[in-house]
Amino acid sequence: MPEAVLVDIVRSPMGKGKPGGSLSPLHPVELLAQVLSALVSRNDFDPALVDDVLVGCVGQVGEQSGTPGRHAWLSAGLPISVPSTTIERRCGSGQQAIDFAVQGIAAGAYDIAIAAGIESMSHVPMGTNRKGSDPAGPGVAARFPGLASQGIAAELVAQKFGLSREAMDILSVESHQRATRATETGVFDSQIVPILRPDGTVVDKDETIRPQSTLESLAKLKPAFATDQTRSEYPHLDWRVTAGNSSQITDGAGAALLMNAETAGKLGLRPRARFVAAAVAGDDPVLMLTGPIPATHKALARAVMKIDEIDHVELNEAFASVPLAWQTEFDIDPAKLNANGGAIALGHPLGASGLRLMSSLIGSLEHTGGRYGLQTMCEAGGMANTTIVERI
């Protein structure tokens, strides 16, 4: 079976996903085009050899509706012979793009593939594709009458696992502090590609990090999902989730160059990591955000590994309750989890988050000399992806 390796991975800076955000002047296709162009230009190979471009994207409407990977590839001036497809597994879309690319290489369907992700939440706000409709339908509602939004699910997870507001705020402050240190020490420099805006200015730093965040400032924030209606529907909740201990709405893009290891050797390209195992799993759709726990168990079992063999973990901080709940199941040094900050500090550009996490994971392994890394993220509907890599 061909071995899939990661040759390179890049991402854009993370911009606030609202009008006026650093990346908001860019059409989402143009944002992804610049990232793809940077990935190709810094690796010496013929881009016409790419078999497919697999792109994670959640909000596939409006400016993100027309196979954004194909349009971005063409906008970047790259060969018209290369096709693209779009993948949607909610927040795990970008990670699923990576996993599908790996599976395609292992199956012999691809020699070279690019896995990417894009989400411009300033252009396509979260929930735009629903248009006020009910995407679940009556059968799901009858089977799971407690089904609610992810914000409510985050509250339910905090209650189930006994996670205090203070514990979640502590994790959030630490996320910003770690991301600040990583920025100041240049850890992100090899991951981030500068993005040129239409006005000629360049964005080369993450806009979302708040170095000034403190426990005192977070303690002043009101619960984000406590309304008169939700308080009535969930009288047993004490409302711990705030904007400060949740991921940020963000614009961002990322892309990874994956190959058959033999092909990389023939092209004279040095791989940075190989893929050990991957898994997807489902869990309680009402709690919704606990999927990383069974998905991690499943991937570790496939890799025949234990959690203490993992040197770094990237777990998407959709809400602070997610990594804290995961930690109750897996005994790992907290310093190994989101070592350079997570989505609370760096943002969560939905379809692109899988690429942002993988770039952070590879960067952490290379920065510390670690060998094995694990990436996992929760997804709407109670699903999760987990991927294990080995640094080469």
Q: Is the dihedral of CA 348, 350, 355, 357 positive or negative?
A: positive
Query: What are the phi and psi torsion angles at 23 (to 5°)?
Result: -105, 0
Catalytic-labelled residue, pool 71, 123, 176, 348: 348
Cα–Cα nearest to 77, from 43, 123, 30: 30
Axis-axis angle for helices 353-368, 93-106 (nearest 10): 70
Catalytic-labelled residue, pool 91, 123, 176, 312: 91
Please check whether residue 240 is in contact with residue 151, taking contact to mean a CB–CB distance below 8 angstroms: no
Residue 9 CB burial class (10 angstroms; 0-12, 13-18, ≥19): buried
Between strands 250-260 and 273-282, the pairing is unpaired
**In DSSP terms, which residues pair with 376 in a beta bridge?**
315, 386
Between strands 273-282 and 383-391, the pairing is antiparallel
Helices (H), 107-214: 138-143, 150-160, 165-184
3-class DSSP assignment, residue 160: helix
Q: Is 57 a catalytic residue?
A: no
Eight-class DSSP state of 230: H
Cα–Cα nearest to 276, from 299, 306, 309, 308: 299
Side chain identity, residue 120:
S
Q: Is 348 a catalytic residue?
A: yes
What residues act catalytically? 91, 348, 378
